[in-house]
Copies of this chain bind each other. A is one copy, B any other.
């Protein structure tokens, strides 16, 4: 294909001139130009398609180092280097084969998968209209639609009645939530609001937003603010605490129980300890995770809601992963208690199957976001309906339109089918892993994520009867084995699972390396998953088992 690409390279040097420049801005009138533009789009839709079809696996075999060595040009060319057709051809023939085929059913390692075809069309519309939802003057209906879709997701989570939504859905004074670039910024927004609520203005003190963290703690007679989260919580909560001036040391990780849910006894003990301590701590929030990144597990939301209600503590639920499960009639109940939270985060690009990337943050109280309100002279004047008045970012694309359309096209039931498939396939996979003598299920899937490790039967037996010291040695060896299996498999390029390190009480006091599967692609079925397990077994047999330093 190299030749085809070369042949459309311009023979003469390109020059930037006003006339050809204008042509890139003017909307085409003549059929010839239109058909050229459409031809490019066809190349994009189906040229990429050819690549993605032939690369069933993940990526072409080339090391990152070799790849990086080819992209070391730090100069912007003076004159145009390539025309659009050459750029598109290059992207299809040279670029696409070297990115990651996240749409492959064999790509089950991360929370990124195939998206429905229509998402690409919807994004193209958003791009062509190029609205900026920071303000009405550059978005108009796009801002109105954003408010509507936020209400839809708010209702999915909190389920208030028609009166409530009738009042707030298009209110210019209140906000049911916001759209952010991703879950990290959505979590940061939720904690920003919680911080400003806790360290609110009082008795001549102007509030933390105006006077800063140090003055705020002084005014509220506190030594520090803390955040209580499960030890399986996403790292973005720590990052949010760092950014917000709270300090990552003040994010207190609570241990989990045997089911990887926040241990309520540990939490209560920590709360008592905080209350009794001479160091005065303000509790910014307790965070429940609904779909932990590594294990997919859900914290005990109803009990956390009780504790927060009793202590008048902000209850935040990070449902970036699990939130859309509310659309499944069969499994929505797993998230029971989420409706009692003060704020919730759900990612659009995860189980709403939107294109990368989109985060949503919702607040039960429609006035909560007043705590982070900003104005400017040239836009977002007080009383304006500009969405930018209550947001961590400024300029933003109207990505909420994609979600609004997707909900119409899919319906709750359509999403429900996808979510059910993920959960049920993960359960089948867990059964399969348990039935294979050389595999060990580490965390069972509560939603559609599970972890396991390759653990030959003889090692399992040795683990069962070994001393603490022997178990530690075997676990260390197993860590190496699983790191190697994952790397071999990734490099072979046919399939991809991820790996992480988990502390699992039943397996010893140290963190152990586990393989992690996330099942969200509807084309990922047990045939695919058995292939993946078979390949791991084959990798062990061929490359690892015979080179082991220890014989069992």
Flag if A120 contacts B124 (CB, 8 Å): yes
With a cutoff of 8 Å between Cβ atoms, the chain B residues found around residue A490 in the complex are 137
Flag if A152 contacts B250 (CB, 8 Å): no
Contact with B along A384-400 (1 / 0, CB 8 A): 01000000111111100
From known contacts A69-B170, A72-B148, A144-B71, infer whether A121 and B44 are also in contact, taking CB-CB under 8 Å: yes
Q: A346 CB to closest chain B CB, in angstroms? A: 13
Flag if B211 contacts A214 (CB, 8 Å): no
Flag if B41 contacts A243 (CB, 8 Å): no
Flag if A405 contacts B91 (CB, 8 Å): yes
Flag if B246 contacts A245 (CB, 8 Å): yes
Alpha-carbon distance A225/B347, docked complex (angstroms): 34
Binds B, one of A126-134, A526-534, A544-552: A126-134
Flag if B112 contacts A138 (CB, 8 Å): yes
With a cutoff of 8 Å between Cβ atoms, the chain B residues found around residue A21 in the complex are 410, 414, 417-418, 522
With a cutoff of 8 Å between Cβ atoms, the chain B residues found around residue A69 in the complex are 170
Q: A466: CB under 8 A from chain B?
A: no
Contact with B along A225-268 (1 / 0, CB 8 A): 10000000011101101111111111000000000000000000
13 A-B pairs besides A44-B125, A84-B118, A99-B139 with CB distance below 8 A are A37-B45, A71-B141, A73-B148, A74-B162, A75-B152, A77-B407, A87-B408, A91-B401, A103-B130, A182-B393, A188-B243, A212-B225, A212-B246
Flag if B156 contacts A76 (CB, 8 Å): yes
Q: Is the interface of A mostly helix, strand, loop or mixed?
A: helix
Alpha-carbon distance A88/B103, docked complex (angstroms): 24
The interface size of chain A toward B, counting residues with CB under 8 Å, comes to: 185
From known contacts A22-B522, A78-B412, A182-B393, infer whether A192 and B243 are also in contact, taking CB-CB under 8 Å: yes
With a cutoff of 8 Å between Cβ atoms, the chain B residues found around residue A87 in the complex are 118, 122, 405, 408-409
From known contacts A82-B408, A139-B100, infer whether A397 and B355 are also in contact, taking CB-CB under 8 Å: yes
Alpha-carbon distance A45/B39, docked complex (angstroms): 12
Residues 141-169 of A at the B interface (beta carbon under 8 Å):
141-142, 144-145, 147-148, 151-156, 162, 165-166, 169
**Which B residue's beta carbon lies closest to that of A212?**
B247
With a cutoff of 8 Å between Cβ atoms, the chain B residues found around residue A147 in the complex are 68, 71
Residues 350-393 of A at the B interface (beta carbon under 8 Å):
355-357, 372, 374-380, 385, 392-393
